[in-house]
Amino acid sequence: MALQGAFAEHVRALEAVGARTRLVRLKEDLAGLDGLVIPGGESTTMTMLMQRMGLYDAVRDAVNGGLPALGTCAGMIILADRISDGIEGQRGFGTLDIAVRRNGYGRQLESFESPLQLDGDPEAFPGVFIRAPVVLDAGTTEVIAQHEGRPVGVRQGRAMALAFHPELSGDLRLHRRFLELVRS
């Protein structure tokens, strides 16, 4: 989805792992997609933009209907079932059985990088956190990444969500995992 955030960096990462990409800005752009990345940005602004562009219901229905999705940072918030510290009435798609708190790791000035533990991978992943959400409850999701014992990456069905920005890390492992999810 190319409404806001580091979508160009996601395009580069996905193409580097062999995916064909296209930008989604309109409801018509969803036709024929095999998967969708909902990038970081500002979750309330992104939700309002999706609503104005007539994308909100179409994207929600596609993702909840089984279209593989990767949500990063704000994308995680949008895919969440429960959101705290959002604007009044803010709701996620309910795709993932998680509760998140917006900006849980702090504001812009408190952004940081830290090594993360990925499930099934002994090598640390370079996590880039920018106004990142905190997972308050991972619910029934599979935790796929942790920071200091706290979930920062989850998967449920054909949806993955990360509280951090893998597209800014230079490490393609999580984009590869998403592509495997799309191809499964």
The pLDDT of residue 106 is 66
The pLDDT of residue 109 is 67
Mean pLDDT of all residues belonging to the chain:
93
Residue 165 a catalytic site member:
yes
Residue 113 a catalytic site member:
no
Q: Which of 65-69, 79-83, 110-114 has the lowest mean pLDDT?
A: 110-114
Give 67's contacts (C-beta < 8 A, 6+ positions apart).
Answer: 30, 33, 34, 35, 36, 158
Is residue 172 pLDDT above 70, yes or no?
A: yes
Structure confidence at residue 60 as a pLDDT band (50, 70, 90): very high
Mean pLDDT confidence for 128-139 = 94
Is residue 38 pLDDT above 80, yes or no?
A: yes
Which residue of the set 9, 10, 147, 165 is catalytic? Answer: 165
Homologous superfamily, domain 7-183 = Class I glutamine amidotransferase (GATase) domain (3.40.50.880)
Strands 69-72 and 112-118: unpaired
Structure confidence at residue 110 as a pLDDT band (50, 70, 90): confident
